[in-house]
Chain A
Amino acid sequence: MKTGQEYKDSLRGRNIKVYFKGELLDGNTLIDNPYIRGHVNSAAMTYEMAFDPKYEDLLTATSHLTGKKINRFTHIHQSVEDLLTKVRMLRAVSLNTGTCYQRCVGLDAVNAVYTTTFEMDQKFGTNYHERLVDFLKQWQENDWMVAGAMTDPKGDRSLRPSQQADPDLFVHVTQKDDKGIYVSGAKAHMTGMVNSHWMILMPTSGYGEEDKDYCVCCAVPVDAPGIIHIFGRQTNDGRKEEGEIDQGNACYGVVGGECLTVLEDVFVPWDKVFMCGEFQYSGMLVERFACYHRQNYGGCKGGVSDIVIGAAATIADMSGYSKAAHIKDKLNYMIHLTETLYACSVACSAMGTKTASGAYYVDPLLANVGKHNVTQLIYDIDRIAQDIGGGLLATLPSEADLRSPEVGKYVEKFFKGVASVPTEDRMRMVRLLEVMTGGVALVESMHGAGSPQAQRIMYSKLSNLEAKKAAAKKIAGVKP
C-alpha cells in the first residue's frame, strides 16, 4: 500500500497534459497548483487513513486475488459485510475531509467491470475477465488511484451515438489492429482524473448493435499519448489564490476537482481492453456501475452532512443562539435527514447479493432510492444550515479585510459573536458553511452518479408495479 506522501510523489512523474484557464500546466508541479492541491490532499486521505490504526479496519481489506492486505479502494466486494464496510469507510473519510475524495469512482468501476466481464465471457467465450484480473493485481500491488470514466458529452440528447453529427460526442473505437484498439471522444465531469494514475473508460449507456463501436471498456493511463484534460472552474475558485479563511475548506477543497478528458486516437493494447463491441452487455455494465456508485452517496454525503451539521451548530454556539428551541429543532431535523441518507446506503448494502463472479452487488432499487434522496435532502440540509448560519454567509468581508491595518479592527469588532470566541474562528466557520452549502457542492449532489431522472427510470424497472397491482386487487377482492 502507498502512504499519502507516496501517492502524491507518484503523481509527479506523469506526463499528464492538463489545461486550466487556457494554459497547459506543468505535470510535475500540477499537484501544487492552488486550484488542484486541495483535491490531491483529499484523495491522499484515502491513503493516509489506511495506515492509521484508528481507521484501518475500514480502509483496508484482504485481496481475494493475492491474500495480501490492500487499500479497500482497490477491493472487489466479497460479502455483504464488505459492502457495508465500504459505506462506513466513505462516511469516515468524509468526516476527515469534508468533501469528495474521488477514489470511489474507480472502485465502483472495477467492481462493475469485474462482475460484467465474468458473465460476458461465459456468453461469448472471450477472456476479458482474465485481462481485468491481471490489471487489478497490478492495481492493488501499486495502490493506484484509478478514475472511473463513464459520462460522454452526448451532444444532441435526442440522438443515439451513431446518429450524432459528430461521432466524437461519444467515446468510440476508431480502429483495431492485432496489437490493440484506438479510441476517440471525450469524457465529461471526470472526478479525480487529473490526480489519478489510470482511468477505466466505460460506455455511457446501454446500446444496440448499431452503436456497438461505442460499447468499449478499457484501462488507459491518464497521461497516454492523445489525451488532454481541461480542468473545470468552481464557484469562487479565485479565492484559492488568496488566503486560507475565504476558501472555507482550504486543505481539501470542494467536490472532486472535475475536468473534461479529451481522447484523440488513443491506443489501448488488447490486454487492457475489457469490452469491445459486445453491445448486449453495455447496459449491464452501466447499470452495475451506476448502482455501486449510487450506493456510496449516503456514506460520503452522510459524512459531509455531519460536517455541515457540526458547522451550523458551532456557528449557533459562537453566535449565542444555540439554546433557542427552533435551532435545536432544525439541527435535529438535519440529523434526521442525514441518517435517512445513510440508512439507504446501509440498506442497499445489507440487501446485497452474490453475483456469478463471486463478487457482491448492492440491491439496485435501494441504491437508486438512496441517491435520489441525495438529490433532494442535501438541498434541505444545506437550506436549514444556511438558515441557522445567517446572512453572514453571503456578506462576510474577506480575510484581507480582517488582516487590514486600517479596517481589521472593525471586522474584528463587528463580526464578533459570543465574547469568548475569536472573530477569526467565527469567520472560519461561516466560510466553511458557505462553501459546503452552495455552488458546486449542491450541483454535485444533484447530478453526481446520475441525475434524478436516471434514478426515476430505474424504479419502474426494478420495483415490479404489476405485483403491487396484483396484491392490491387481491386485498380489494378484485378477481384477476
Chain B
Amino acid sequence: MKVGVKFCGHCAMHMDMTVLYGALRLALPEIEFAYASASEKWDLLLILNACPVACAGRPVFDGPVITVSPVAVDGWPVEPENLLEELAKRLKNAENRY
C-alpha cells in the first residue's frame, strides 16, 4: 500500500508532524510512504496538521483519507502520546483491506 503524506505548513506548530511522520515510517516499514504530489498516485492520503485547526489543503483524491491533528484523528479525540499507536492501527487496518 502506498500512502501519500501531506503536511499543513506548520504556521502554529503545536506538534512537529515531521517527527510523527518519521516515527510512523519506522513503525510501519512494510508500508510505502511518499509526499503527496500531483504527479504520483497513492492508495491512501494521510494529512498531518501541526495544530488543532487542521487547515491543510486537501489534494484532489477520491480514495480514503486520514486527517490528523495533535489532538484528533478524523475528528475523534486522541491524546498526543497515543497518536502514533492510533495511526499505526488505522494504517494496518487499511492495508489489510487493501
| Residues in chain A within 8 A of chain B (CB atoms) | 53-59, 84-85, 88-89, 91-92, 95, 303
- Docked-complex contact B13 and A95, CB < 8 angstroms: yes
| B7:A57 contact, CB within 8 angstroms | yes
**Which residues 2-37 of B sit at the A interface, judged by CB distance below 8 A?**
5-13, 17-18, 35
Interfacial chain A residues near B55, Cβ < 8 Å: 84, 88
Q: Does B77 contact A (CB under 8 A)?
A: no
Distance from A303 Cβ to chain B, minimum over Cβ atoms (Å)? 8
Instruction: Tell me whether B11 and A89 are in contact (CB under 8 A).
Output: yes
Which of A53, A89, A92 has most chain B Cβ within 10 Å?
A53
A95 to B50, CA, bound (A): 14
Give every chain A residue within 8 A of B13 (Cβ-Cβ): 95
Tell me the smallest distance from the CB of B47 to a CB of chain A, in Å.
Answer: 10
- Residues of chain B with a CB closer than 8 A to A57's CB: 6-9, 56-57
Q: Are A53 and B11 in contact (CB under 8 A)?
A: no
Contacts of A92 in B (CB 8 A): 9-11
Q: Name A58's contact: one of B5, B11, B17, B18 (CB within 8 Å).
A: B11
Contacts A54-B17, A57-B56; A95 near B11 (Cβ below 8 A): yes
Give A56 to B36 CA distance when docked, in angstroms.
Answer: 11
**Residues 43-58 of B at the A interface (beta carbon under 8 Å):** 55-57
Tell me the bound Cα distance from A59 to B7 in angstroms: 12
Residue from B11, B17, B35 in contact with A88 in the complex, judged by beta carbons closer than 8 Å: B11
Q: Compute how far the CA of A85 lies from the CA of B5 in the bound complex, rounded to whole angstroms.
A: 19
The 7 A-B residue pairs with the shortest CB-CB distance, nearest first, are A58-B9, A88-B11, A92-B11, A57-B9, A91-B11, A53-B35, A54-B7
A92 to B9, CA, bound (A): 7
Which of chain B's residues has its CB closest to A53's CB? B35
- When the two chains form their complex, are residues A89 and B9 in contact, meaning their CB atoms are under 8 A apart? yes
The 30 listed contacts between A and B (C-beta, < 8 Å) are A53-B5, A53-B7, A53-B35, A54-B7, A54-B9, A54-B10, A54-B18, A55-B7, A55-B9, A56-B7, A56-B9, A57-B7, A57-B8, A57-B9, A57-B56, A57-B57, A58-B8, A58-B11, A85-B9, A85-B57, A88-B9, A88-B11, A88-B12, A89-B9, A91-B11, A91-B12, A92-B9, A92-B10, A92-B11, A303-B11
Interface of B is mostly: loop
Who on chain B is nearest to A57 by CB? B9
Docked Cα-Cα span, A220 to B4, in Å, equals 43
Apart from the given pairs A56-B7, A88-B11, 12 other A-B contacts in the complex at a CB distance below 8 Å: A54-B7, A55-B10, A57-B7, A57-B9, A57-B56, A58-B10, A58-B11, A84-B55, A88-B12, A92-B10, A95-B10, A95-B11
B residues contacting A by CB (< 8 A) are: 5-13, 17-18, 35, 55-57
Nearest CB of A to B92, in Å: 24
Question: What separation, in Å, do the CA atoms of A250 and B6 have in the docked complex?
Answer: 32
Which of chain B's residues have a CB closer than 8 A to the CB of A91? 11-12
Chain B residue at minimal CB-CB distance from A92:
B11
Contact partners of B18 in chain A: CB under 8 A: 54
A83 to chain B, nearest CB (A): 13
Chain A residues, CB < 8 A from B5: 53
CA distance in complex: A471, B55 (Å): 38
Complex Cα gap A92–B50 (Å):
11
Within the complex, the shortest CB–CB distance from A364 to chain B, in Å, comes to 23
Q: B11, A59: Cβ atoms under 8 Å? A: no
A89 partner residues in chain B, CB cutoff 8 A: 9, 11
Closest to A58 in B: B9
A95: B residues at CB distance < 8 A: 10-11, 13
Residue of A nearest to B34 (CB): A53
Q: Which residues of A contact B35 (CB under 8 A)?
A: 53
* CA distance in complex: A188, B6 (Å): 42
State the CA gap A88–B7 with chains docked (Å): 13
Give the chain B neighbours of A54 by CB distance below 8 A. 7, 9-10, 17-18
A334 to chain B, nearest CB (A): 15
Residue of B nearest to A49 (CB): B9
Which of B8, B10, B57 is most buried by chain A, counting CB atoms within 10 A of its CB? B10
Q: Closest chain B residue to A91 by CB distance?
A: B11
Residues of B within 8 A of A59 (CB): 9
**Minimum CB–CB distance for A55 against chain B, Å:** 5
Question: Complex Cα distance A84/B11, Å?
Answer: 11
Closest to B55 in A: A88
Shortest Cβ gap from B24 to chain A (Å): 14
Cα separation A56 to B12 with both chains bound (whole Å): 15
